[in-house]
Amino acid sequence: MKNTKFNLFIKIWLLCTYAIIFIPILVIIIMSFNKTPFGMLPFKFTLEWYQLLFEGSNLFAATILSLKLSGAVAITSMIIGTLTAVGAQYVPKKVSNLLMSVAQLPIIIPWLVQAIALLLIFNLTGLGRSYIGMYFGNLIVVLPYCIMMVIARFNEADRTPEDAARMLGATYPLVFKDVIFPMLLPGIITGGLMSFMVSFNAFAMQYFLAPFGVRTLPMEIFTMIRVGYKPDMNALASIIMIITIAFVLLLNKLGYSASRLMKSK
């Protein structure tokens, strides 16, 4: 058949695409177990770098700071995002559509611009570089994810159970607790997890807004890269990778595969 050749070509193309994405990740995991610090062969197994990471490296402290920051940001964004999405249900459709497109702007506007603008404002108000400023900066860029995830739940879920609950005698607070909140929960959790990941990665925001002398993980890595680094970073990268994969699996389990996320946007 004529198509077989073309099919084979497509398959190879697909394989190459995936290879380009995943080979570097695979290499970094392998290198985290390699004895030589220069990323060279032959491969000799060691756990030395993992040990260094937990005992003698700056990376560990920076990681904890990043986790704390992202955790706080994710929780706040879940709360504010949910409330925003709920509120948008009770204003006229035109208004809510406008509000929602404005709410998505922080994703589109380059973070660099936003970070500089925020720094400018914080300096003007006398706050300057601070933990609280960094927290707000991160929050701003992740909020849209939470809002969108919760709105998506509203749009795709069957809304009649709310009417049913009211007809059975439930007042609005009860309807919210028993029907609306359980319905939104998968969206809220997904939004939270995405917020966490995005915030964990938000180098520009952190670089511009962090207090002097304080370094989150992305900043720490950035600094290390410039002066040369040890493979303890590979070890850390591997750990982050494993946790991220676990996240993705969790999201999938909640019914939010990549294709669904694309659709709901």
CB of residue 253 vs other proteins: minimum separation in angstroms?
A: 16
CB of residue 113 vs other proteins: minimum separation in angstroms?
A: 42
CB of residue 183 vs other proteins: minimum separation in angstroms?
A: 8
Q: Which residues in the 13-42 window bind other proteins by CB under 8 A? A: none
Q: What mask of x and - would describe binding to other proteins in positions 115 to 154, judged by CB under 8 A?
A: ----------------------------------------
Lookup: tokens for 116:
């500089």
State the alpha helices, DSSP H only, in the chain: 2-31, 48-55, 58-88, 93-103, 105-108, 111-124, 131-156, 160-167, 172-175, 181-201, 203-209, 217-227, 232-253, 258-264
Could you give the CA distance from residue 179 to residue 161 in angstroms, rounded to a whole number?
7
Could you give the CA distance from residue 9 to residue 228 in angstroms, rounded to a whole number?
41
| DSSP 8-state code for residue 46 | -
Nearer to other proteins, 1 or 167 (CB): 167
Nearer to other proteins, 40 or 167 (CB): 167
Q: Does 101 bind other proteins (CB under 8 A)?
A: no
CB of residue 101 vs other proteins: minimum separation in angstroms?
A: 24
Nearer to other proteins, 169 or 213 (CB): 169
Could you give the CA distance from residue 130 to residue 113 in angstroms, rounded to a whole number?
18
